[in-house]
Structure 1
Amino acid sequence: MKKNTMAKLNILLLLLLSFLYMLDISQSATDSNPEATYFIKAECRATRYRALCVQCLSNYTSTIQQSKQKLAHTALLVSLTRAQSSSTFVSRLGRMKGMKPKEYLAVKDCIQNMGDSVDQLSRSMKELGLMGQVASGDFDWHVSNVQTWVSAALTNENTCQDGFTGSAMDGNVKVAIRRRVLNCAQVTSIALALVNRFAETARHKVGSDSLG
């Protein structure tokens, strides 16, 4: 009985920590660079989660300035950070005792999914960072890799959430994980949209340069 009580208390503690984490990441930055802030807001209109996009990226105005590549790279950085944090959170939850067998299996699968997501986002960041000049002849190959890996990361994050569907999964474990991973997936969706937007603009520039 004591073990089950402790397990429930530990899960409730993780749920509280998850809530505080979500509260912390909702804080917005001071608008210290109006032009970059306007640029970010304009670009975020192309994403599915506009308010979250601005909220996540407004802390990085000095880095992003008005560069679509830096915007995409920063969005990937934010996504990777969220994925790493979510992966650690799920891994800790997986070590707790007292979960239902189906919950344990779902958590175990989610740990694998989130680990894969972290790896894919890490590779995406490196690839985008190594692209160098937009006019490179290998541009399409590089950006295709980034798009493929970010898409795969988003799929893994959604698969993690899907593992907790059904009435057998109702409870604190489901709430804690889905809340955390849902936010992570939304940020990855934003990163993918901004990568796609950068790629579209850059391809147009490459085409114009080749014609000129």
Structure 2
Amino acid sequence: MEPKTLIILAIFCLTITTTYGGPTTGYIKKSCATVTYPALCEQSLSPYAKTIQTSPSQLARTALSVSLNQSQTTQAYLNKLKSFKGLKPRERAAIGDCLDEVSDSLDRVSKSIQELKTCDRVKGQDFIFHMSNVQTWVSSALTDENTCMDGFGGRVMEGRIKTSVRTHITSVAHVTSNALALVNNLAQKH
């Protein structure tokens, strides 16, 4: 083959691999097909394909880490938002309540990541016990995130603040929902 043809062939192969992913992104795509938000799952986990490889445990742990990072970003946003001048007292109170819920969620997801590491080292009833803790904590974290919006109920709370908070909370809730589905898939494989 001519050198020019080899270069074109190499670029073509690289393009195919980059566009359609290698075997590890294929694993992520297949795993994400089972969650509620598959496109978000793929988008948020594909950057970690080399770390995940084809490990269901690493996939679940990474999904929890993505949820944790998103929660931390949302917590920082809410802290900044709470200090805005011009907020109505009810908005400030709702943001404060939401901040408490996000903090609880952060704590539960963080515990879940540590507990999932324990699951990698145990079997049988010990695995079931630790995995049950993970499932309970992630489910509770998801409830906390959804509860956050309760303080923004009613027409009087409609507006930019509510919309902005909802956008952030929805983002966290979606990645946490995906993480829970991947944790549940891992539990079923044992």
Q: Could you tell me the TM-score, scaled by structure 1's length?
A: 0.78
Show the counterpart of 1:129: 117
Structure 1 stretches (4+) deviating beyond 6 angstroms?
none
Shift of 1:136: 4.8
Shift of 1:168: 1.1
Shift of 1:34: 1.0
Preserved contact between residue 68 and residue 109 of structure 2 (Cα < 8 Å): yes
Show the counterpart of 1:142: 130
Q: Is the deviation greater in 147-156 or in 131-140?
A: 131-140
Tell me, yes or no, if structure 1 residue 184 matches structure 2 residue 167: no
Aligned-partner Cα distance in 2 for 1:169–1:31: 44
User: How many residue pairs align between the two structures?
Assistant: 173
SS at match of 1:130: helix
Show the counterpart of 1:170: 158
| Counterpart AA for 2:55 | S
Aligned-partner Cα distance in 1 for 2:179–2:167: 19
Show the counterpart of 2:51: 63
Shift of 1:130: 2.2
Aligned-partner Cα distance in 1 for 2:78–2:48: 28
Q: Measured at CA, do residues 31 and 145 of structure 1 come closer, stay the same or move farther in structure 2, by a change above 3 Å? A: farther
Deviations 1:21-75 (A, max 9, x none): xxxxxxxxx5695111111111111100011010100001001101100000000
Aligned counterpart in structure 2 of residue 197 of structure 1, from 170, 185, 188: 185
Show the counterpart of 1:54: 42
Show the counterpart of 1:14: none
| Counterpart AA for 2:157 | M
What are the ranges of 5 or more consecutive residues in structure 2 without an aligned counterpart?
1-17
- After superposition, the CA RMSD in angstroms is 1.5
Aligned counterpart in structure 2 of residue 89 of structure 1, from 64, 77, 80: 77
Deviations 1:181-205 (A, max 9, x none): 1000000000000000001002xxx
Preserved contact between residue 161 and residue 182 of structure 1 (Cα < 8 Å): no
Shift of 1:175: 1.4
Q: Is the deviation greater in 108-117 or in 92-101?
A: 92-101
Q: Measured at CA, do residues 149 and 31 of structure 1 come closer, stay the same or move farther in structure 2, by a change above 3 Å? A: farther
Structure having the higher Rg:
2
Preserved contact between residue 102 and residue 168 of structure 1 (Cα < 8 Å): no
What are the ranges of 5 or more consecutive residues in structure 1 without an aligned counterpart?
1-29, 203-212
Q: Measured at CA, do residues 31 and 79 of structure 1 come closer, stay the same or move farther in structure 2, by a change above 3 Å? A: farther
